[in-house]
Structure formats: C-alpha cells, structure tokens
Amino acid sequence: MLLPQSTMSLLRLSRGEDGHSRATGWATFVVSTCLWFCYSTTPAFAQPQGHGDGTRPGARPPVGGQPGGFGAGGRRPVTAKIPDEAPPVNIDRESLPPGYVPPREVPAYLKDCKEWVLNNNERPDTKKELPRFNGLKAAGAQLNGKEDIDLIKKVIRSMLADFTKKENREKVYKLREDIFVKVLGFPQLTQPVKDVILDVLVAEAPTLFDHCLEPRLNAVLLLSQLDKVQAITVPPQPAVPYIAACTPLLKLLNDPQQPDIVKIPAVIGVVRYAAPVNTNPDLKHKAVEALSKLLKNPKTDIWLQWRCAEGLGQIGYFKNLANQPVVLALLRDVMNDSKRHWEVRAQAARALGRLNLDPAVDLKGVAVDLASFALQMTVEYQKNPKQSHWQGCFFNLYLAFRPLDAEEKKKGWGLLTLVGRPPFAPHSAIVTSVYQHCLPLIQNVLTPPAAVTLPEAIKNLNDWLKQNSPNGGVNIAPAAEQPPKTKPPA
C-alpha cells in the first residue's frame, strides 16, 4: 500500500535517531493511516489531477463513460441559446430628450462683477483732502471755486467706486446709507455745498448701471431718494425731491437691457419725482410714457406691472401730449385682461379712481368695467378663497371708489369723490349703483359676515350687468356646497 508523503514524514518523525520506534510511534501510525484512508475514499479527491467531472480548477474535461461525461451514464452538456440580434437603434445626437428644458443662461449682471478701479490720484488723500472735505460740511462753509468742486467730485466718486469692490459685496447698502447719513444728512451742510454734492451724485451714480446687481441696484435706490430739502417734523414740512435725479432713472426704464429687478425701484423713484403737482408737465408726460410702455408688455415681471399701474394713478395724467386718453384706455385694458395677474388688474382698477379725469370721459363705461371686473374676481375667489392676494385685490377695488384717508380725499381720489363734483354729477347715479353692488362682495371677503351673503351678492351684480352692460352678465356655475362645520367630539 502506497502511503502519502505526509504520512511517511510522520512515521520518520516517530522514530529516534537510532532507528528504533518510540512509544508513540504506532499510535501516530494508526492515526495517520486513518486520515489517509478518509482522504483517498472522498469522491472529490479520489481521482488523480486532470480526471473527474471537471469541477476542480485545472481538471480535464470529462469524456464519454466517465462521471460527468456524455455517453453511457454521462450528461449531455447544456449549450446557451444565442438570442436573435436586436434591431439597430437610431440615436438622435442633436435633439434634446422629450420634456427636457435646458437651464437658463446666467444673466451678465449676476456673473460679470467688474470693479470700478480708481488710481491713487483719483482718490482723496486721507491726511489733507478728506479733512478739507469735512470742513466743507461745517456750518457756514462756502465753496471756493473749482478746487472745492473737484474735491467734492473726487470724494463722491471714491465712495461710489467702493460699491463695486468684492469685499463690499455684502455691505453695499451700508455704503449707500453712509452717503445719506454722513454726507447729505450732515446737520450744518449749507445748500450750495449740498447742491454740488447732489449734482455729482446724479452725474456719477449712473456709471454703476453697467456693473453687477448689488452696486447697480443700490445706485438706483440712491438716485430714487435724493432730496433738495429734507422733510421737517416741527413745524411739518414735506421734503422737496431733487428733480434732476429723475432723468437717469427714466433712461434706465427705457433701456431694454436693464433687468426688471432694478426697474421696480426705478419706477418708485420716477413716480416720486413726477407725481407732485408742481412738477414740470413735460417731465410728467415722459414718466407716463415710460410707465405705459412697461405696463403694455404682459411679459414683464408682475411686480413691475403692479408698480407701473400704481404710478400711473399717482401721477394722474390720463392723456398724452396729443390729447388722447391713452392712459385711461390702457388701465381699462389691463383691468379687463383675463391673462393678467389679479393683483395687477386690481391695482389698475384702483388707478382708474385716481386719474384727473374730465367731464367728457365716459364714466359709465368705466363703472361698468369695474362691475364686470368685480364679478369675475369674486367668482374666481370662490374657487380658492385661501389665497393670500385676495385681501389686497378686494381692498384695491374698494379704493377705486373711496379714498384711503383725508389726504387722498383732498387730492380727489376715488370715483365717488369725483362724481361729487358738479361737472361730474350726471354720472353720479351709475357710479353709486356700481359701488352699492360691489360693496357686499368686498365686505364678504374683508369683513365677514356681511348683511348680504356672497351668492346673493353675486346674483344681484350679475343681474345688474345684464341690464346695464352691452356684454350682459356671465353664466355662473353654482358654487359647491360646503359641508357643515361640526365640533369635534369631546
């Protein structure tokens, strides 16, 4: 019997150096023999290398008649079925996938943040020139010709240039406030020095209109708030706006390359300068033209449209230089445009009650349009009454008829105030009737519960429109009944 090499080595180890068996020799032999017997009778190891069923690494593939082979007592090998060749797929490498919307390109005013670089000669010297500038703000200080004007220009340009520095990006608003507080707000500042400072600001601040958003926006806010004379509390005296600042703001509004986000505060500034009664009529017409152009475009930002409608009402002009009532027509069109946002339409309705109309205007048509708008808005309100904008919309509808306070009443705002004047007395009945039909709708939204329920108020207004409007009323679907509110069980 042929013993494995491992067993033979164990036998050699069990003998002494003299060749005689040790006491444990035969025990080791017996154990080794048993291990070899178990090893040789195991099927996975019983055959020599290269034989068997081919399951061991390096084994020779089985042949017929042997375990694992095909033929007598063997298994037929399983062959994988080759699938049919798939049809070729045409891949369009040019078109975008269906439904994919590529991201919008980042506007230049958000990524191109260049700095307004001034050399050392263009900035004021901190030891000599800045103390001299502070002396010009002292009480009774007078300008000493071109040298002082150049110094003021150098200081203001330096302060504006700091708006564009990268390290000031998050605190530009503080730099703007410093101009109002530390320069224009200086208590002892004389009017001649202040006029020069204002002139320099109006001339130099528009340079920031070509920079990134932060300095551009703050330059607009700066120009929108300039006053020639500040307001006084005791005795009460309103501020006198610095009208010259309106010119660069109008230029910005008429620039199609400027984003809506900077045009919104520019509209506020233009209206602030153009709305006062004593403003030059030519400036008023320019402001009205710019605001009307923006409002005509329904693609502009909603809040820009809202501000333009508000501004047209505050300025009050309803005719252009050709004596055509274009502003009145525009506001009526915006109010009746079902594609506009309800807040924009409601602000246009309020603006109609602020215009300085003349007796030749068709006030009946305006009143009927207001009634139709009120009915449409209330029907839409019923579909989703929890939307946050409805309160403001119905309040603006109310202000189309009534002034907000004594100041607005003094200005003659509100259609009911207007028809209270003798020239407009013939239109009093129709305007009052529309107001009485709209008031229950307004009360049901702003101060519920009202004396007249909302469905009843809608029906009354719809019946009135069928009798007084050339377009008649509207077909109103009955509102879905709401389940009664019950208290939860205790």
Does residue 378 fall inside a structural domain? yes
**How crowded is the C-beta side of 171, counted as CA atoms within 13 Å?**
8
Q: How far apart are CA 122 and CA 150, in angstroms?
A: 10
pLDDT for 249 equals 98
Are residues 27 and 135 both part of a single domain? no
Note the pLDDT tens digit of each residue in 353-404: 999 999 999 999 999 999 999 999 999 999 999 999 999 999 999 999 999 9
Are residues 360 and 457 both part of a single domain? yes
Are residues 353 and 469 both part of a single domain? yes
Note the pLDDT tens digit of each residue in 177-216: 999 999 998 888 899 999 999 999 999 999 999 999 999 9
Closest C-alpha to 224, from 192, 193, 201, 256: 201
Q: Are 136 and 243 in contact (CB under 8 A)?
A: no
Are residues 354 and 466 both part of a single domain? yes
Does residue 459 fall inside a structural domain? yes
Q: Are 372 and 336 in contact (CB under 8 A)?
A: yes
Does residue 365 fall inside a structural domain? yes
Contacts of residue 285, Cβ cutoff 8 Å, sequence gap at least 6: 317, 320, 321
Does residue 338 fall inside a structural domain? no
Does residue 34 fall inside a structural domain? yes
Are residues 358 and 451 both part of a single domain? yes
Of these ranges, 54-68, 273-287, 465-479, the one predicted with the greatest mean pLDDT is 273-287
Does residue 160 fall inside a structural domain? yes
Does residue 486 fall inside a structural domain? no
Closest C-alpha to 147, from 157, 132, 160, 162: 132
Look at residues 223, 245, 268 and tell me which one is the last residue of a structural domain. 223
pLDDT class of 482 with cuts at 50, 70, 90: very low
Q: How far apart are CA 476 and CA 462, in angstroms?
A: 9
Give me the domain span that covers residue 24.
5-41
Predicted TM-score of the model (pTM) = 0.76
State how many domains the chain has: 3
Look at residues 188, 223, 258 and tell me which one is the last residue of a structural domain. 223
Helices (H) and strands (E) counted in the chain, each on its own, are 20, 2
**How crowded is the C-beta side of 87, counted as CA atoms within 13 Å?**
2
Does residue 179 fall inside a structural domain? yes
Tell me 433's DSSP state.
Answer: H
Are residues 36 and 136 both part of a single domain? no
> Which two tokens mark 389?
């904008």
In which residue are the tokens 């330059």 written? 219
Q: How many CB atoms lie within 10 A of CB 109?
A: 21
